[in-house]
Amino acid sequence: MPPVTLTLIAVNVGVFLLQQAAPGLEVLFALWPLGSSQVSGVEVGFEPWQLVTYAFLHGNLVHIAFNMFALWMFGGPIEQVFGTRRYLIYYFVCVVSAAVAQLAVSALTGAVYPSIGASGGVFGLLLAYAIYFPRNRIMLLFPPIPMPARVFVVVYALLELFFGVTGTQEGVAHFAHLGGLVGGFLLLYYWRGLDALRRRF
């Protein structure tokens, strides 16, 4: 496994274990909506570091297992394509863009709850995987149907949009997932133009 992907997985697992010993971590490091509010008598609110730290927190074992499996599955091949530096930049741009999307949705809806999980970064990696390995087969879990990566990412994005708009699957930050996709797409588009410019000169 490429080193950055392995390190990201190790850090996520380490933080998850730390969460079990110190559940209060979420109060400081989860992504809270803009402004401040009272939750169980404690004042909580957005802090700049939460744009990144939320992505290393997870709600339960299934949550982290699913995200780390996806990080391993899509992150390894993309790290080999991008190289260490560009891969790190890409992952964290997707994490931050997912956070920004979630903050915007929270501001519009007035929701007051924290967001956690690496899904924003993972969705960005899924997009990159679909672009660089479009014909590779990915198996859906439910139902177990194999499909090309480029079809899988479109289907998944449409499902996330549907769930987000309709309010289905409450407790899942669907627009944060889409924010990770959009952030990844914009960065890839920028890099592609930059690389073309460099080749020209």
pLDDT in tens, 7-21: 999 999 999 999 999
Return the exposure string of 105-125: e unless at least 16 CB atoms fall within 10 Å of the residue's CB, then b. Answer: bbeeeeeeebbbbbbbbbbbb
Q: Would you say 74 and 151 are in contact if contact means Cβ atoms under 8 Å apart?
A: no
Q: Would you say 195 and 188 are in contact if contact means Cβ atoms under 8 Å apart?
A: no
Instruction: Take residue 63 and report the two structure tokens written for it.
Output: 């949550």
One CATH from 2.40.240.10, 1.20.1540.10, 3.40.50.2300, 3.30.70.520 for 3-133+175-200? 1.20.1540.10
User: For residue 61, how far is the Cα from the chain centroid?
Assistant: 17
Map out the domains of the chain as residue ranges: 3-133+175-200
Instruction: Report pTM.
Output: 0.90
pLDDT of residue 172: 81
pLDDT in tens, 35-80: 766 666 667 788 999 999 999 999 899 999 999 999 999 999 999 9
Q: How far apart are CA 62 and CA 34, in angstroms?
A: 28
